[in-house]
Amino acid sequence: MGLFSRKTKTEDLQPLDLPEVTLSDGTAYQIAQQIDCIGDSCPRPQMMTKKAINSAATNDVVEIIIDNPSSMEAVPPMAPQIGATHLETVTDDNCWKIYLRKD
């Protein structure tokens, strides 16, 4: 598989039956979109995040699931550039969950 070729996955953008998440400050958000970037490396998680934010409605919360440390460090700082606010990054089992809200 080439560096930029699309790998086989069931769905990168998950359907809308997504859970509500409560962040460390106690604020609860309904997840509008979930992006599965497990196994992906830069720049794919950043591109998928930008695509999801561009298609989201104002105030929608997008959950990005990442297991690549460099991607986890790259996504939150790019939020202002793509019109989003980084809400929180949560460590989960063998991955990170990054929560962004579209401005």
Count of CB atoms situated within 10 Å of the CB of 54: 11
- The reported pLDDT for the residue numbered 18 is 76
- The reported pLDDT for the residue numbered 4 is 52
Containing 48, the helix (H) or strand (E) segment is helix 44-55
Question: What are the pLDDT digits (tens) for 16-49?
Answer: 577 899 999 999 999 999 999 999 998 999 999 9
Domains in the chain: ranges and CATH? 20-102 (3.30.110.40)
Q: Are 103 and 58 in contact, with CB atoms under 8 Å apart?
A: yes
Tell me how far apart the alpha carbons of residues 38 and 46 are, in angstroms, rounded to a whole number.
13
- The reported pLDDT for the residue numbered 16 is 52
- The reported pLDDT for the residue numbered 1 is 45
Indicate the pairing of strand 84-92 with strand 95-102.
antiparallel
Backbone φ and ψ of 61, nearest 5°: -105, 130
Q: Are 98 and 64 in contact, with CB atoms under 8 Å apart?
A: yes
Question: What are the pLDDT digits (tens) for 48-73?
Answer: 999 999 999 999 999 999 999 999 99
Residue 10 vs residues 58, 78, 103: alpha-carbon distances, Å = 27, 27, 29
Question: What are the pLDDT digits (tens) for 72-103?
Answer: 999 999 999 999 999 999 999 999 999 999 99
